[in-house]
Amino acid sequence: MEVTERFLRYVAIHTTSDEACPDCPSTERQWELGRLLKQEMEDLGMRDLRLDEHCYVYGCIPANVPDAPAIGLIAHMDTSDAVPGAPIHPRLLRYEGGDVVLNAEKGIVMRAADYASLAGHVGKDLIVTDGTTLLGADDKAGVAEIMTLCEYLTAHPDVKHGKICVGFTPDEEIGRGADLFDVAGFGADFAYTMDGGRAWEVEYENFNAASARVLIHGFSIHPGSAKNKMRNAIRLAMEFNSMLPPSEIPECTEGYEGFYHLTAIRGEEQEAELRYIIRDHDRAKFEQKKRRMEKIAAYLNEKYGENTFDLILKDSYYNMKEKVVEKPEVLDRALNALRACGQEPVCVPIRGGTDGARLSFMGLVCPNLGTGGYNYHGVFEYACVQEMQFVVEMLKKLVTA
């Protein structure tokens, strides 16, 4: 089955995850794709197949040469809930430039002026939606590319390779994809997540990440008699936020620059709460950002009284570069595979997280590779057919012994 056909088959299955649900998987609908992938792997004659109780899918293609490393390939089955995830109505088109009308009836147009990536796809075949849902290239492009590679390898036993370990995870979009991943049972010496954008990009640097909750305990009293008595928790919350560097927010940063991002605020005079995410590629700067929040909370507690501010910090994940540089051959293999396909690789820092970061700190070094998908988490998401085909060819080079 060609990669485009597989991709269209997978995006037809609704797999949006749900952060509000504590279960794994967070939605029952992810099981449909999990069962389909296990069956397809069985039909290909793959070994050690498992669909575990949390909807993780595992399988492998045994090595046919000695002493070659066991290479893992991983993608996630769930899709983002940022916009509707179904019903998806994909359409294949040849892009000749200019704006793309996704839905004439509803006036939904993907404008070339807004999406610079389109300029690089003139004359290419794109898969788009009708503008009412996401497409699901994140990460069903990665799933389709891995499965297309598996079909090729099982049909061509003369191609020499080490053990190929395949894993498909639930709930990556809500930050839980690596939570219950069976690293030991997976059996790979190292791995790659297939979850990036441009087909020739390699990502091995990501943010260090933490969450922060600031609970503010005020004192409410009638405003007519509030002098020297009231402590308005809402105003105190505003004071806390004002003490963070105004330029270190997502709207003012790019590249390797970190930030504090206020994600939620709620409250009234008696109680208030601020929620933040803290990000920085540099581990020392990341730690400094957390210490700054602690110092602000301590200062304000001294100013307004002990226990007025409760700060709860929790680390989420760390920059995988710390682990990747310890096994440079993993990155070199990916770079060499791209060059063998005639494409100079581009290494870019991830301004976010990835399952590969979590897995790298769980003992499985795991850079992230591109899949040919664009504009993720929105109704203007699309996938380039030629790039998906290129990724399959690149994977053949990647795993060849």
Kindly list the catalytic residues: 78, 172
Strand pairing category for 71-76 and 190-194: parallel
Write out the E strands in 24-86: 47-51, 57-61, 71-76
d(CA 276, CA 252): 16
Largest interatomic CA distance in the chain: 86
| R_g of the chain, CA atoms, integer Å | 24
Strand order across the beta sheet in which 346-347 lies? 47-51, 57-61, 164-169, 71-76, 190-194, 368-369, 201-203, 346-347
CA 290 – CA 281 distance, rounded (Å): 14
DSSP tag of 332: H
CB atoms within 10 A of CB 307: 9
Q: How far apart are CA 401 and CA 392, in angstroms?
A: 16
Q: Where are the alpha helices (DSSP H) in 176-282?
A: 183-186, 233-242
- Distant-in-sequence, close-in-space partners of 56: CB < 8 Å, separation ≥ 6: 34, 50, 167, 168, 169, 170, 180, 181, 182
CB atoms within 10 A of CB 77: 32
